[in-house]
Structure 1
């Protein structure tokens, strides 16, 4: 709940709180820009955020499809964020796409746009190739 004003404590359902945090932090451009300032660790935190949302949905079913689509578009497909992730921590980008794909495979993201999934798959393959090149 929200107890910032002790005389007017507000409790929210997990669904309401998830939506509030999603909008105010997870896809907030200023928060994302702040994470980019932290390089590798910031990229790790973005990937961890995808993991946390997945976990909340897997256990409580509180992440609607629009949130998954917004995560994919904002974290993975946005050129600025994708370029940051590819350079700062490509493993984080790889993990994000894996987690989003797993959400679709498990039916948590129940009706993902096929074109969006194709774009995610292409990013996955590109990053996987980049990671393999690093090892060789």
Structure 2
């Protein structure tokens, strides 16, 4: 049986990234990685409330991911990430033996990659200056 650890935060994106099955049964270890909260949220929300939110968020993700995989006859183990991923990966690999690891999390848009849908703060000013110079 193939064993695959999948890190995910968006079910639709993860489904696109997950490999197809070759007819061989697969054991999926789905690790839900909840979105990070800002450091300022701790001022307003208790630790237990944050943990409850993470658990509810993970339940919604698993409700979208687990049934289709089980319908194919695959085994699924849902896990909620609560700490650093390298440590969790080592623990899961020790528990499940040698497995493949797939990071199917949606890339963050603030990682420096250009986003065509929005202007950067200085780009509008730069274009205005270029137009003014071109008119002269």
Higher relative contact order (CA 8 A, sep 6+): 2
Q: Same fold (TM over 0.5)?
A: no
More helix by share: 1
TM range (shorter): under 0.3
More strand by share: 2
TM-score scaled by length of structure 2: 0.27
